[in-house]
């Protein structure tokens, strides 16, 4: 689920639909529908959604990108409820993000593949496909605040930071990876990554170990580990002023169907000292 403008949310459904939700009116509208898969054993579930501001659409509308497990990527005009452009992906879509300049989209897929699309023409244009630097399946992908690199989280309890040299962008961070969300011999998937809106390079990760950790992405240092939550952390989000973090604790079935704690949403205040990047040495 992603927020748009004017109190509207956008979300993808297990049936392949893309919907807008008007919060004030408590009303839902289908703005797009992905095609059903050709293989009956596959799913057309819309696994990720991203929104772009109205000025990018150029017509007072909002552009909504959506991708599916059936390997389809579409860009929708929310006002017209029609697809502007469409691509066949080379893998199932697991995560998607729009860079801070609203010029590019990254889609993290099965097979350790990442695809980058340009949006500056008001439509999707494939610019780069490449393998992830991580050895196992990606769960999440996020652009750095300057848009010149991405951070990937994997099922192996590892985060990879990857510059985007192939796109002709200035390298502001070196390529590296680090282990996280591990306890003794147990390795937990990294479900989510979000960058702090105030401190450049500070990001938080949430994992199936029920923890949220803040990192300095440029100094490669851990900043803060929040107290553990009752179950897997499935999603996190910072308040726009950076003073609070919302944490969704929801079992993500990493151990199959079993008894688990109820789904809960937590909001925690953050001290500046918990998020402040390390001083230069």
Distance from C-alpha of 34 to C-alpha of 61, rounded to nearest angstrom: 20
Q: What is the pLDDT of residue 2?
A: 62
Distances (CA, A) of 24 to 6, 9, 11, 20, 227: 9, 11, 16, 12, 34
- Could you tell me which residues come within 8 angstroms of residue 172 by beta carbon, excluding any fewer than 6 positions away? 144, 146, 148, 149, 163, 218
In CATH, which superfamily holds the domain spanning 132-281?
YVTN repeat-like/Quinoprotein amine dehydrogenase (2.130.10.10)
pLDDT values of the chain reduced to their tens digit, one per residue, 281 residues: 566 566 888 999 999 999 999 888 989 999 999 987 666 666 788 999 998 865 455 556 788 999 999 999 999 988 887 888 899 999 999 999 999 888 899 999 999 999 999 988 777 889 999 999 999 999 999 999 999 999 999 999 999 999 998 888 888 889 999 999 998 889 999 999 999 999 989 999 999 999 999 999 998 999 999 999 999 999 999 999 999 999 999 998 888 888 898 999 999 999 999 999 887 76
Q: What is the pLDDT of residue 223?
A: 96
Closest by Cα among 197, 202, 201 to 213: 202
Q: What is the pLDDT of residue 63?
A: 86
Q: Which residue has the tokens 């938080």?
A: 204
* 131: three-class secondary structure by DSSP: strand
Tokens of 167: 């796109």
pTM over 0.85: yes
Distances (CA, A) of 131 to 7, 91, 252: 37, 12, 25
Closest by Cα among 238, 259, 260 to 249: 260
Q: What is the pLDDT of residue 78?
A: 85
CB 50, CB 2: distance < 8 Å: yes
Q: How is the chain split into domains, by residue range? A: 132-281
Q: What is the pLDDT of residue 269?
A: 97
Distance from C-alpha of 151 to C-alpha of 156, rounded to nearest angstrom: 14
Q: Which residue has the tokens 């509208």?
A: 29
Q: What is the pLDDT of residue 7?
A: 81
Distance from C-alpha of 203 to C-alpha of 230, rounded to nearest angstrom: 22
Q: What is the pLDDT of residue 79?
A: 82
């Amino acid at each position: 689920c992603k927020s748009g403008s004017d109190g509207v949310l956008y979300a993808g459904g297990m049936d392949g639909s893309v919907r807008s939700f008007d919060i004030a009116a408590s009303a839902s509208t289908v703005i797009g529908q992905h095609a059903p898969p050709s293989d009956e054993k596959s799913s057309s579930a819309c696994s990720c959604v991203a929104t772009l501001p109205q000025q990018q659409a150029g017509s007072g509308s909002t552009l909504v990108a959506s991708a599916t497990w059936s390997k389809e990527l579409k860009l929708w005009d929310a006002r017209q409820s029609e697809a502007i452009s469409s691509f066949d992906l080379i893998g199932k879509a697991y995560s998607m993000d729009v860079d801070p300049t609203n010029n590019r989209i990254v889609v993290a897929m099965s097979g350790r593949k990442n695809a980058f699309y340009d949006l500056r023409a008001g439509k999707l244009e494939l610019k780069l496909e490449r393998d992830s630097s991580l050895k196992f399946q990606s769960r999440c992908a996020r652009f750095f605040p300057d848009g010149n690199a991405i951070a990937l989280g994997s099922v192996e309890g590892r985060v990879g930071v990857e510059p985007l040299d192939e796109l002709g962008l200035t390298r502001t961070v070196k390529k590296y990876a680090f282990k996280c969300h591990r306890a003794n011999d147990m390795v937990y998937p990294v479900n989510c990554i979000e960058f702090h809106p105030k401190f450049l390079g500070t990001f938080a990760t949430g994992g199936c170990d029920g923890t949220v950790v803040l990192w300095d992405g440029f100094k490669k240092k851990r900043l803060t580990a929040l107290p553990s939550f009752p179950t897997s952390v499935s999603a996190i989000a910072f308040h726009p002023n950076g003073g609070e973090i919302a944490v969704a604790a929801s079992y993500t079935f990493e151990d199959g169907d079993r008894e688990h704690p109820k789904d809960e949403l937590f909001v925690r205040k953050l001290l500046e000292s918990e998020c402040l990047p390390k001083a230069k040495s």
